[in-house]
Amino acid sequence: MAQTAVNSGLIRGLTADSSGAVIANATITLISRATATAVTRNPNSASIFVFPAQPVGRYSVEVKADGFCTQVVNGVDVQVGQATSVKPWQVRQDPLR
C-alpha cells in the first residue's frame, strides 16, 4: 500500500456553468493516456470531483452533463505525491437542447 502512495497523485476539480453555478449532475471520466483505462465519478453536491491515488502519468478528463456540451481537457499530468487541480470547468449549454 505504501508503494501506491509513493507512485501516485490525485486529480481534483470543479464543474460549473458559464455563470459559475455548480453542475452537480455531471459525470466526470478520467482516462489514462498510457493504458486507455477509464474511471468515472460524479461530483459532490458542491460540484467538486476527486480522483485519488492515480498512477503517475498523463490523463484526459471528460465532463458530461445533460443539457451541456461535453468538455475534454487533454494533457492533465499526475506527479508523485501531488494534487493536480483541473481549472474550474466552464461547461457551455448545448444549443441543440
Task: Quote the CA–CA distance of 61 and 76 in Å, as a whole number.
Answer: 7
| Distance from the Cα of residue 13 to its chain's centroid | 6
pLDDT in tens, 3-15: 445 789 999 999 8
Q: Are 63 and 42 in contact (CB under 8 A)?
A: no
pLDDT in tens, 24-52: 789 999 999 999 999 999 999 888 999 99
Q: What contacts 57, CB < 8 A, 6 or more positions away?
A: 32, 33, 34, 77, 78
Residue 96 falls inside a structural domain = no
Residue 93 falls inside a structural domain = no
Instruction: State the CB neighbour count (10 A cutoff) for residue 51.
Output: 22
Q: Are 72 and 64 in contact (CB under 8 A)?
A: no
Q: Count up the domains in the chain and report the number.
A: 1
Phi, psi angle pair for 80, to nearest 5°: -55, 125
Please state the pTM of the whole predicted model: 0.83
Domain of 53 in residue numbering reads as 2-86
* Domain CATH number, residue 48: 2.60.40.10
Phi, psi angle pair for 75, to nearest 5°: 75, 35
Residue 39 falls inside a structural domain = yes
C-alpha cell at position 95:
444549443
